[in-house]
Structure formats: structure tokens, C-alpha cells
Amino acid sequence: MFDKHEIALSVKNLNVDYGDFRALENISLEIPARQITAIIGPSGCGKSTFLRCFNRMNDLVPTARVTGEVLFYGQNIYDSKVNPVEVRRHIGMVFQKPNPFPKSIYENVAYGARINGYKGNMDELVERSLRAAALWDEVKDDLKKSALALSGGQQQRLCIARAIAVEPQVILMDEPASALDPIATLKIEELMQELKKDYTIVIVTHNMQQAARVSDYTAMMMLSKEGSRAGTVIEFGPTPQIFTSPRDRRTEDYITGRFG
């Protein structure tokens, strides 16, 4: 599908179970590098669960069991030799609700790099990360101020700066703009277009217009069959095709609002 793109993440026959409950079933797809891939689908179809598979966040749920493979540039991140903390350094995450630490703006950005033993110039790293997150001009004179004093949109961009500061290759975003007003949402969307020059982005969104606006590829998720509670990817393709001529009837029905 993407002749011109390198593959960053390759998912093969992925299943996720929570105890007896199967949450994700038989997902296989490839995420192109330095592109934005959106995951859409109705509530409860496992979009966030799927996103969390990309940096082993589901490991933090005690009963969760992941089978299948997630290859990150060819390396299976679920291999027993792989350290999940190392995975998360390369594959960062931004959540729905901005979650800055109750520390200064500066410390929020510097925090991750510091625990990773960053040896370079910290001031430079903080500035570079804040600039990349399109927040520098708004906070450069207030770096010592508490991050909690920022607006919701600024806090979200701070969280993006914090994710960038550890120099990951992939940024996962779980509904990054759903708690923000339209202007702050547009800023995040514009920022994503800048970020994709350097990073692979995977975003979960309920907002189909947002998926259509920002993403290059779209994965449509749905419960795998009637009566089942396991989600799966039913259609994956270039975003313009998904939103103008989807191949699967269920994608058509969902994006045109016939159900969902």
C-alpha cells in the first residue's frame, strides 16, 4: 500500500485478552513511518486498547494478555528480551486529558530526559522541545511557572513537548484534542502536520472530520462480529479513499452516521 513509505510498525495477528474477555481480535496492519495514521470507530470497539499495544501500555493492566506480534522496525516489542520502558522511550504517548506534572513548565519538559540520563544542554533541549510543540513563544518568559497554570490547549502542547523531549520515533495520541476548544484543537492539528516531518504519529479520534483533516491513512475498527465484544480493524487505507469511497459497507455506514 505504501510503496513510498518505510514501515515503522507492523502488527501481525494481534489479539488482546483481559482474563476471559477478548478485547481485540486478529489485527494485522502496517503503520507507515513519518505519516499520520488515524484509528476511528464507534465507542467500545477497542481503539484505545489497540493504540496502547504499540508501546506496551496494556502490560500495566494485570489481567491483560497480548498475543501476536508488534514489530517496531522489525523488532518484536513483545519479545521477552525487550524492556517495556525502553519501548516507551521510543514510542511516546499523549493522552486525552492533558496530564502535566504539578511542576514548573521547564521541569515537565526536562523530566523524562533527566531520568534517561540526558547529558546534553538541558536548556537547549527544553527550548527545542517547546518550539517543536509550538508552545515556546507563549511560555518562554514563564518557564518557572507551574504547568497547571496553563490553559488546557497549552497543557496539551506541553505534554507533546514532554513526549518529544525524550526524542522518540513514534508519538501515539489518544483523543488529543477532545477536551479542547476548536482553536486549541486546530493548533494541535497544525502541530501534527509539523511533527510528522520527524515522527510517526498514530492518533485515536472520535472526530471523523479530524481524522479526515489530519491523517494520511485511516484504520476503521469495529466489533468483529454481531454479539462479540472483540474489536478488530475492518478496513485500512489511504484517508481520501476511506472517506470518499470506503470499500466496506460498515465503514460507509459509520462515517455517514447511519450507526455508531
Partner 1 sequence: MLRKTFETELQQVKDNVLFLGSLVEQAILDSVEALKKRDMDASRRIMEADREINARRFAIENQVMVLIATQQPMAHDLRLLASILEIAGELERMGDYAKGIAKINILMGEQPLLKPLIDLPRMAQKDADMLHRALTAFLDEDVETARAIPQEDDEVDALYNQIYRELITFILQDPTTIERANWLLWAAHNLERVADRVTNICERTIFIATGEMAELDGAANGEENA
Q: Say whether residue 182 binds partner 1 (CB under 8 A).
A: no
Q: What is the 3-state secondary structure (H, E, C) of 97-148?
A: CCCCCCCEHHHHHHHHHHHCCCCCCHHHHHHHHHHHCCCHHHHCCCCCCEHH
User: Which of the residues 87 through 106 are near partner 1 (CB under 8 A)?
Assistant: none
User: Which of the residues 221 through 260 are near partner 1 (CB under 8 A)?
Assistant: 243-246, 251-252, 255-259
| Torsions phi, psi for 46 (to 5 deg) | 95, 20
Q: How far is the CB of 239 from partner 1 (least distance, A)?
A: 11
Among 208, 214, 219, 222, binds partner 1 (CB under 8 A): 208
Q: How far is the CB of 135 from partner 1 (least distance, A)?
A: 29
200 or 210: whose CB is closer to partner 1? 210
99 or 245: whose CB is closer to partner 1? 245
CA 169, CA 155: separation in Å to the nearest integer? 22
Type of residue numbered 192: M
83 or 256: whose CB is closer to partner 1? 256
Residue with cell 483533516: 213
225 or 259: whose CB is closer to partner 1? 259
102 or 257: whose CB is closer to partner 1? 257
Q: How far is the CB of 40 from partner 1 (least distance, A)?
A: 11
70 or 212: whose CB is closer to partner 1? 212
The b-or-e profile of 86-106 (16+ CB within 10 A means b, else e) is ebbbbbbbbebebebeeebbb
| Torsions phi, psi for 235 (to 5 deg) | -155, 140
Q: How far is the CB of 252 from partner 1 (least distance, A)?
A: 5
Q: How far is the CB of 177 from partner 1 (least distance, A)?
A: 16
Among 197, 209, 225, 226, binds partner 1 (CB under 8 A): 209
The b-or-e profile of 232-255 (16+ CB within 10 A means b, else e) is bbbbbbebeebbeebeeebbeebb
Count of residues in contact with partner 1, rule CB under 8 A: 14
**CA 4, 8, 14, 19 torsion: positive or negative?**
negative
What count of other Cβ atoms lies within 10 Å of the Cβ of residue 162?
27
What count of other Cβ atoms lies within 10 Å of the Cβ of residue 168?
21
Q: Which residues bind partner 1 (CB under 8 A)?
A: 208-209, 212, 243-246, 251-252, 255-259
